[in-house]
Amino acid sequence: MALHVYVWLVALVALERIVELVVSKRHLRWIADRGGVEYGAGHYPVMVVLHVGLLVGCVLEADLAMRPFEPALGWSMFAVVVLSQALRWWCIGTLGKRWTTTVVVIPGLPPIRRGPYRYLRHPNYVAVVAEGAALPLVYNAWVTATVFTVCNAGLLIVRIRTENAALRAAYPPGTLV
Q: Regarding predicted confidence, which is higher, 135 or 167? A: 135
Q: Is a pLDDT exceeding 60 seen at residue 177?
A: no
Q: What is the reported pLDDT for 111?
A: 87
Domain holding 52, by residue range, is 3-16+43-94+114-169
User: Does residue 71 lie within any of the structural domains?
Assistant: yes
175 confidence band (pLDDT: 50, 70, 90) = low
In percent, how much of the chain has pLDDT > 70?
98
Convert the pLDDT of each residue in 20-71 to its tens digit: 999 999 999 999 999 999 999 999 999 999 999 999 999 999 999 999 999 9
The per-residue pLDDT for range 80-93, each reduced to its tens digit, is 999 999 999 999 99
**Which pairs with CB-CB distance under 8 Å and at least 24 residues apart come from 46-55?**
46/155, 47/155, 47/159, 50/148, 50/151, 50/152, 50/155, 51/17, 53/148, 54/132, 54/135, 54/136, 54/144, 54/148, 55/10, 55/13, 55/14, 55/17
Higher pLDDT, 61 or 107: 61
Whether pLDDT at 13 is above 90: yes
Asked if residue 118 belongs to a domain, the reply is yes
- Report yes or no on 104 lying in a domain: no
Residue 61 resides in a domain: yes
148 in a domain, yes or no? yes
Full-model pTM: 0.93
Q: Note whether residue 54 is domain-resident.
A: yes
Split into its structural domains, the chain has a count of: 1
